[in-house]
Chain A
Amino acid sequence: MQLGAQGDITSLIATLLWLLFFAIFFFYPSFSQRIQLSHMLRDLERKLGRLKQIRDDVRSRTLQVLGGYSERKDLDKELDRLVNSFMIPPESMDPYGVVYKLEHIAVTWEDSFEDMVRELCPKADRERAKTLTNLVEVTRGVDLIYRIVRHFYLMGKKTNNIYLVLQLQMLMPQIMEIAEAYRQASYAFSEGQPIGDGVGVLAVAKLVKDAEKKTYEIAKDTVVHELVFEGRRLLAVRAAGPGGAVGRPGEGVKRLVEAENGRVGAIITVDAGLKLEGEETGKIVEGIGVAIGGIGIDKYKIEEIAKENRIPLYAFVIYESIAEAITPMKESIAKAADKVLEKIKAIIREKVKEGETVIVAGIGNTVGIGMT
Chain B
Amino acid sequence: MFQSRQGLGKVPRPLTFLLCLNCKTENSRPFKDGDYVFKEVEEKCPKCGEQRMVITGIYVREERQQAR
Interface residue ranges, A against B (CB under 8 Å): 45-46, 48-54, 57, 150, 180, 183-184, 187, 191-194, 202, 205, 209, 241-242, 327-334, 368-372
Q: Known contacts A329-B58, A330-B59: does B4 contact A370 (CB below 8 Å)? A: no
B2 contact from A52, A329, A332, Cβ within 8 A: A52
Q: Known contacts A50-B6, A334-B59: does B31 contact A242 (CB below 8 Å)? A: no
CB distance from A317 to the nearest CB of B (A): 19
CB distance from A321 to the nearest CB of B (A): 13
B2, A370: Cβ atoms under 8 Å? no
Q: Known contacts A194-B59, A328-B59: does B11 contact A370 (CB below 8 Å)? A: no
A183, B59: Cβ atoms under 8 Å? no
B61, A184: Cβ atoms under 8 Å? no
B38 contact from A50, A193, A209, A333, Cβ within 8 A: A209
Interface residue ranges, B against A (CB under 8 Å): 2-4, 6, 8-9, 11-14, 31, 33-39, 55, 57-62
B61, A331: Cβ atoms under 8 Å? yes
A368 to B31, CA, bound (A): 11
A329, B8: Cβ atoms under 8 Å? no
Write out the residue numbers on chain A whose beta carbons fall within 8 Å of the beta carbon of B8. Answer: 53-54, 57, 183
- A-B pairs, top 10 by smallest CB distance, nearest first, are A49-B4, A242-B36, A370-B38, A334-B59, A50-B4, A49-B2, A329-B59, A48-B2, A370-B36, A331-B62
CB distance from B43 to the nearest CB of A (A): 16
A194, B37: Cβ atoms under 8 Å? yes
Specify the main secondary structure of chain A where it touches its partner: helix
A356 to B33, CA, bound (A): 42
A191, B33: Cβ atoms under 8 Å? yes
Write out the residue numbers on chain B whose beta carbons fall within 8 Å of the beta carbon of A191. Answer: 31, 33
A329 contact from B6, B34, B55, B60, Cβ within 8 A: B60
A192 to B14, CA, bound (A): 11
Write out the residue numbers on chain B whose beta carbons fall within 8 Å of the beta carbon of A46. Answer: 4
CB distance from A173 to the nearest CB of B (A): 15
Write out the residue numbers on chain B whose beta carbons fall within 8 Å of the beta carbon of A372. Answer: 38
CB distance from A221 to the nearest CB of B (A): 16
Q: Known contacts A50-B6, A194-B58: does B38 contact A328 (CB below 8 Å)? A: no
Which residue of chain B has its CB nearest to the CB of A372? B38
A242, B62: Cβ atoms under 8 Å? no
A332 to B59, CA, bound (A): 9
A328 to B11, CA, bound (A): 9
Write out the residue numbers on chain A whose beta carbons fall within 8 Å of the beta carbon of B34. Answer: 192
Write out the residue numbers on chain B whose beta carbons fall within 8 Å of the beta carbon of A51. Answer: 2
Which residue of chain B has its CB nearest to the CB of A329? B59
Which residue of chain A has its CB nearest to the CB of B17? A334
CB distance from B60 to the nearest CB of A (A): 5
A53 contact from B4, B12, B31, B55, Cβ within 8 A: B4
A193, B58: Cβ atoms under 8 Å? yes
B37 contact from A48, A49, A332, A369, Cβ within 8 A: A369
